[in-house]
Chains A and B, each alone.
Chain A
Amino acid sequence: MRIANGRLAFADMLLFDELSATITAGEWTCILGPSGVGKSTLLRMIAGLGESDPATNITASDGSPLDQRIAWMAQQDLLLPWLSVSQNIALGNKLRGQTTDGGHVSALLANVGLDARPDALPATLSGGQRQRAALARTLMEDRPVVLMDEPFSAVDAITRARLQELAARLLRGRTVLQVTHDPLEALRLGHNIHVMAGRPAHLGAVIRPPGDTPRDPTEPALRDLHMALLAELSSAADDGSNGGAP
């Protein structure tokens, strides 16, 4: 998947311009950057949500259109509060007027460890359980490309680690593009990491941490990378604050 000449401006503030990246198919790519740099906006542009500039060109290497092949997962679970967990998982089919294979829903519920509570309403679940239901809903869509906007940032550390492991296992083989502000999360999950920084923002060169995912971020090799990423992010944050000053 290639992004060429990505461009977005709000009023007189240019968020990014001539931004390009190549996202490798079948791998997990993380875009890491400070808050407000435009990571989520870029992701939403790829998902075809919200505003986009006509100059922006997002293409898949096989030439066919992307919009039918993308699943989207956000920071909040965005489950519909009046539907049960299993109805939420089947929501995409319902919206498109397609029938849902109950066996498939059950299998997904079992995969995310919610098979005991298919009829529970989201409000009766913990934050981690809700996010697992959202993950199952994303998987139900069965799309080759999965875009994730800080999907694990609203839960506590232990739950986050478990969700990361689960997602890494269940999304293996798909093209995942995840936005995060947490370098450890990027090191744990990403085959490829890009730092997004500056104003207008640009994407840094790809970093490919060694080993299979989900990685243990306490490994010495990753520790050095973590330090390097932190240094890059903090200098980016300084640039951002200078650039943003009136």
Chain B
Amino acid sequence: MNSLWDSRPIRFSTYAAGLLIGAVLWEYFGGKVNPSYGAPLSATAKRFIFLVSNGQLQDAVLGSLQLYFVGFISAVLAASLFGLLMSRLNYLRVGFENYIMLLYATPMIAMVPFIKSVLEIGFAAKFTVVFLFGFFPVLYNTLEGARSVKPEMVEVAKSFRSGEFALWRDLLIPHTVPFILTGIRQGAGRALVGVVAAEFLISSSGLGGLIQDQQGKYSMSGVFASITVLTAMGLLLMWIGRVLENRMAAWRGLNR
């Protein structure tokens, strides 16, 4: 059994066959249903080309990406810094721990109407939604990481007469980076959900707006084309997260 799967051509052709069967099924059943409920692959591809040719799709992708990166990068920076601080300052940790658990357990999407009433419908409101979607996975993992530094390691550093700054630079931060990266990988997908949620629920823009726009025009092929682009973005972001994690945290894999 193993020897069969060791062969690259066999693995590759099985992948390809799986994808091909999926495409054929999509084409077949998509063509059978009422066009306002679904669209076959060929119509989706055609609509994709149309949306690219009139520039609508690129604008939507750019708008979503901008919201995504501004919101998520801010969330990563804020969450990792706050997590590291919390791990060193006990009163901060004890004071905030309950709120973090509460907010981590709260489905962030439930906060969107509240954010909309406070911040109205501009970029600030959308930014806040994406930020909150991405913030907690990174914070949670950073805290886990910073807390898992062995106290003996800190003692060794202290016995070397390390100052607090060097302790952060040479021990706490390098130790925590792999955990932050795990948080980034988890948060990357959530932040993308946040982007679409903000574009649906705060005000129509980006890919979320394009999906609503195409649905309004009863163009299921346009809806599917937009969803496919979102899927590709999700895959790409997950891949970037994994590459970063593997590259910057190789020692952690060795230690397992």
Contacts and interface: CB of A to CB of B under 8 A. Distances in A.
Interface of A: 44, 47-50, 68, 70-72, 74, 76, 78, 80-82, 91-92, 94-97, 121, 123-124, 141
B170 A95 contact: yes
A82 B171 CA distance: 10
Nearest to B256: A123
B158 interface: yes
Interface centre among B156, B160, B255 (most CB of A within 10 A): B156
Contact of A49 (B159, B163, B170): B159
Contacts of B150: 76, 78
Contacts of B153: 78, 80
16 contacts: A47-B159, A49-B159, A71-B159, A72-B156, A74-B152, A78-B156, A80-B170, A80-B175, A82-B251, A92-B160, A94-B166, A95-B157, A95-B166, A96-B162, A96-B166, A123-B251
A70 B166 contact: no
Contacts of A72: 155-156, 159
Contacts of B171: 80
A123 B174 CA distance: 16
Contacts of A71: 159
Contacts of B174: 80, 82
Nearest to B161: A96
B254 interface: yes
Contacts of B162: 95-96
A80 B167 CA distance: 12
A48 B155 CA distance: 10
B252 interface: yes
Given A71-B159, A72-B156, A72-B159, A124 B254 contact: yes
A91 B152 contact: no
Contacts of A50: 155
Interface centre among B158, B160, B174 (most CB of A within 10 A): B160
Contact of B155 (A49, A81, A96, A141): A49
A78 B158 CA distance: 13
Given A91-B170, A95-B166, 16 more contacts: A70-B159, A72-B156, A74-B155, A78-B150, A78-B152, A80-B171, A81-B254, A92-B161, A95-B157, A95-B161, A95-B162, A95-B167, A96-B161, A121-B251, A124-B254, A141-B160
Contact of A97 (B155, B166, B175, B251): B166
B155 to A, nearest CB: 5
